[in-house]
Amino acid sequence: MSQLAVKTHLREERLRHIWCPGCGNGIVMGAIARAIDKLGLNPDQTAIVSGIGCSSRASGYMDFDTLHTTHGRAIPFATGLKLARPELNVIVITGDGDAAAIGGNHLIHAARRNIDITVVCFNNNIYGMTSGQYSPLTPRGMKATTAPYGTIDRSFDLCRLVGAAGASYVARGTAYHVRQLINLIANAIAKKGFSFVEAVSQCPTYYGRRNHLGSAVDMLRWQKEHAVPVKAAANMTPEELEDKIVIGELQNLSGQPEYVSEYYRLVREVQHQHAALR
Amino acid sequence: MSGKDRFYRLMQGDEACAEGALAAGMRFFAGYPITPASEIAEYLSQRLPEEGGVFIQMEDEIASMGAIIGASLGGMKSMTATSGPGFSLMQENLGYASMAEVPCVVVDVQRLGPSTGSPTAPAQGDVMQARWGTHGDHAVVVLSPSSVKEVYQLTVKAFNIAEELRLPVVLLMDEVVAHMRERVDMRELAQVEVVDRKRPATPKDSYLPYGPDRDDVPALARFGDGYHFHVTGLFHDSTGFPTGNPKEIERQIARQHRKLERYRPYLCIGDEEALEDAEVVVLAYGGSARPALAAVRQGRREGLRVGLIRPTVLWPFPEETIYALATRVQSIIVPEMNLGQLALEVERSVKGECRVTRLPKVNGELFTPEEILAVIRKEALSCPSWRLRPIYEKKDYAISGVQAVATA
């Protein structure tokens, strides 16, 4: 299944991709393709919407209707598309700078509306496309081209933010735990309502090198060693969790009103009332 | 109600905009509250569900502009409405719509700026922003109505142009026109011609979303119909995928502008009054055209040879029409509620063939007819002898001016 998924859901003629050797984005994009394949989604009824940044270039490589938008604004474009064509599976691909900085407000409000789209955030802790400035997800103390002395900014926990804003489904995975990542993305797409998956990825070129984190393999090993499943994390203290990545399903709510169905329910009611008045 | 009364309705400009949009087939509106455009959203929040369409209030104007582009690619005619500060926020995504050639309509009800300015005061300070607000050389059409009836008609036209040319169209209103209430004849408004975008007729695997077409406007497929096409704000070739090839970039940007140039003759629309024998002409648009018309009529009563030209398409500017006019009149007066924005374009278009007098007003008040009439009288009195001069004298003057600079 897996090899085939990549073959059928990627535009092979559009490759080579622009990503650096060792980049984790290809693994996450592959996981999305495999998740779509796992669910058996109709490719004609699936749209990929992305913002600006390394990760957002993925839309051009995927064989669906694809929309590569402006920096930070993929979610509003996706919102318009989903409301106009509710039958489509709308998947947003974004990065940590795109989603958490310039597009942070849109992320919060899409989660609040609980609109039935899936956002996959490729988190490589850095602005890669512009060659290594610190993002809202760069851990405190780490170096970047705009933080030569180490960043003093505290980093976001995007999953907690999106969960608190009301998303039906929130999960985190890593490029290393790729089988789990495929399942998490598949669950997110299948979930009605707003779903969010943070996919921790590695940028050996602009993040790893500057912070002496080693090769791509070393960075993947770091993911393996620092990832803690949700259940195990429940029994750990905040101190123990300080440099860990909690992976798995973080929020899975049922029975939450979903925006598109709520909207069209309202339309039916209004039209019914008008028909009754006539 | 009896007899003819039932054909008439008292309508506000903002309301006429909403109704015109619905008549044009608009079924998706995304917006953010702002004075003096909020009534459009309020009105549509009631009307769109009735029509089975979508109304959504977004978190800001950037998101509103993004949502209408997404909806348009989903196949719905879409619109947003805002005012100066919100229009500024929309500029990046407006450029995207232009680059990706996604039809949509943006309504900007101008208010006095810059910045928060004076939210309820009329102004026409966004004329240049509507043309050049987003970065890069982009194609955009800007329309400017002067009455409630015309708001309705030009909103329909805005959608038709957007659909026919695959580009964003800006309906540039001002607070006076948007908030004004007038009686409209519903029979006149019912006569609406609606244009829909061209759909691809080619097989799915040979579809080129940015390919050359006879009229330079490629057909636009709908997301979800199996075309698997790519839309990006990056420079792209005819397939829609990014390219860095200078020849391809040049080809695409040339086509985007050529499609508008081709259509230009159909865009030289507007209205005129008493132009035939006019020596002094007032060029006015939007809310300013109302007192201008009153001033022109009063001038005529006083025996002055004055006329009015009122372009309803501001961009692309009807430069040939204005040049032709300039060759047969003495003076063009441009009253506008800014410090002289469209006047710059008039000055450029007349190529020295007649005098251009700017009449700016930026205190948050509409012109009075008397203010414009005073300038008409002054121009009419000072012009005749000037006009009798042979044309070569004017040219001599220009040449001697150049020589003077050269010798200095």
Per-residue model confidence as pLDDT tens digits over A211-231: 999 999 999 999 999 999 999
pLDDT given for residue B387 in this prediction = 43
Q: How confident is the model at residue B2 (pLDDT cuts 50, 70, 90)?
A: low
pLDDT given for residue A7 in this prediction = 82
Over residues A71-75, the mean pLDDT reads: 98
First vs last C-alpha separation in chain A: 56
Q: Looking at A199-208, B72-81, B196-205, B288-297, which range is the least confident one?
A: B196-205
Over residues B93-97, the mean pLDDT reads: 98
Written as six digits, the tokens of B294 are 């009153």
Q: Greatest CA separation found in chain A?
A: 73
CB atoms within 10 A of CB B282: 31
Q: How confident is the model at residue B381 (pLDDT cuts 50, 70, 90)?
A: confident
> What's the length of chain B?
408
- Token pair 């910045």: residue: B115
- The shortest C-alpha distance from A53 to chain B (Å) reads 12
Supply φ then ψ for residue A134, to 5 degrees.
-75, 145
* B40-53 confidence digits (pLDDT tens): 999 999 999 999 99
Over residues B14-29, the mean pLDDT reads: 98
| Cβ atoms of B238 and A73 closer than 8 Å | no
Would the pTM count as exceeding 0.90? yes
Q: Is the pLDDT of residue B165 over 90?
A: yes
Question: In angstroms, rounded to a whole number, what is the distance separating the alpha carbons of residues A118 and A218?
Answer: 30
DSSP helix/strand/coil, B283? strand
DSSP H or E stretch at residue A261:
helix A259-277
Q: Is the pLDDT of residue B391 over 60?
A: no
Q: How confident is the model at residue B383 (pLDDT cuts 50, 70, 90)?
A: low
Residue A75 with chain B: CB contacts under 8 Å:
63, 66
Question: In angstroms, rounded to a whole number, what is the distance separating the alpha carbons of residues A80 and B223?
Answer: 12
Give the residue on A whose Cα is nearest the Cα of B228.
Answer: A65
pLDDT given for residue B191 in this prediction = 87
Q: Compute the mean pLDDT over every residue in chain B, rounded to the nearest whole number.
A: 92
Over residues B307-334, the mean pLDDT reads: 96
Question: In angstroms, rounded to a whole number, what is the distance separating the alpha carbons of residues B222 and A207?
Answer: 39
- Within 8 A by CB and 6+ apart from A167, the residues are A111, A114, A193, A194, A195, A196, A251
- The shortest C-alpha distance from A119 to chain B (Å) reads 16
Please tell me if residue A63 touches chain B, with a CB cutoff of 8 Å.
Answer: yes
Q: How confident is the model at residue B285 (pLDDT cuts 50, 70, 90)?
A: very high
Please tell me if residue B57 touches chain A, with a CB cutoff of 8 Å.
Answer: no
Q: Is the pLDDT of residue B407 over 70?
A: no
Instruction: Nearest by CB to B231, from A44, A68, A87: name it.
Output: A68
- Within 8 A by CB and 6+ apart from B239, the residues are B208, B209, B210, B230
Q: How confident is the model at residue B385 (pLDDT cuts 50, 70, 90)?
A: very low
Interface of A with B in 75-114 (CB under 8 A): 75-85, 87-88, 105-106, 108-109
Q: Which of B93, B27, B73, B102 is nearest to B227 (CA)?
A: B73
Please tell me if residue A224 touches chain B, with a CB cutoff of 8 Å.
Answer: no
Q: Does the beta-carbon distance from B224 to A77 stay under 8 Å?
A: no
| Cβ atoms of A95 and A53 closer than 8 Å | yes
Determine if the peptide bond prior to B218 is cis (ω within 30°): no
Q: What is the ipTM of this complex?
A: 0.97
Q: Is the pLDDT of residue B148 over 90?
A: yes
Residue A270 with chain B: CB contacts under 8 Å:
49-50
pLDDT given for residue B400 in this prediction = 31
Question: In angstroms, rounded to a whole number, what is the distance separating the alpha carbons of residues A190 and A168?
Answer: 11
Q: Looking at B116-130, B172-186, B204-218, which range is the least confident one?
A: B204-218
pLDDT given for residue B339 in this prediction = 97
Determine if the peptide bond prior to B316 is cis (ω within 30°): yes
Residue A108 with chain B: CB contacts under 8 Å:
59
Over residues B283-289, the mean pLDDT reads: 98
Written as six digits, the tokens of B232 are 């990006």
Written as six digits, the tokens of A195 are 């779903």
Q: Where are the beta strands (DSSP E) in B233-315?
A: 270-273, 280-283, 306-311, 313-315
- State the virtual CA torsion across A230, A235, A238, A243 in degrees, nearest 10: -50
Q: Is the pLDDT of residue B404 over 60?
A: no
Q: Looking at B132-141, B159-168, B263-272, B352-361, which range is the least confident one?
A: B263-272
Please tell me if residue A26 touches chain B, with a CB cutoff of 8 Å.
Answer: no
The b-or-e profile of B370-402 (16+ CB within 10 A means b, else e) is ebbbebbbebbeebeeeeeeeeeeeeeeeeeee
H helices of B77-194, in order, are 84-100, 127-132, 148-165, 175-179, 186-190
Instruction: Nearest by CB to A80, from B59, B68, B92: name it.
Output: B68
Q: How confident is the model at residue A19 (pLDDT cuts 50, 70, 90)?
A: very high
pLDDT given for residue B389 in this prediction = 37
- Token pair 């770091």: residue: A222
pLDDT given for residue B399 in this prediction = 31
Q: Does the beta-carbon distance from B223 to A85 stay under 8 Å?
A: yes
* B52-68 confidence digits (pLDDT tens): 999 999 999 999 999 99
Question: In angstroms, rounded to a whole number, what is the distance separating the alpha carbons of residues B398 and B41?
Answer: 52
- Within 8 A by CB and 6+ apart from B147, the residues are B177, B180, B182, B290
pLDDT given for residue B384 in this prediction = 55
* A133-174 confidence digits (pLDDT tens): 999 999 999 999 999 999 999 999 999 999 999 999 999 999
> What's the length of chain A?
278
Q: Does the beta-carbon distance from A84 to B54 stay under 8 Å?
A: yes
Q: Is the pLDDT of residue B348 over 80?
A: yes
In angstroms, what CA-CA distances link B286 with A32, B257, B342?
Answer: 51, 26, 12
Q: Is the pLDDT of residue A109 over 80?
A: yes
pLDDT over 90, % of chain A: 95
Over residues B175-190, the mean pLDDT reads: 94
Q: Is the pLDDT of residue B69 over 50?
A: yes
Give the residue on A whose Cα is nearest the Cα of B225.
Answer: A44
| Cβ atoms of B240 and B231 closer than 8 Å | yes
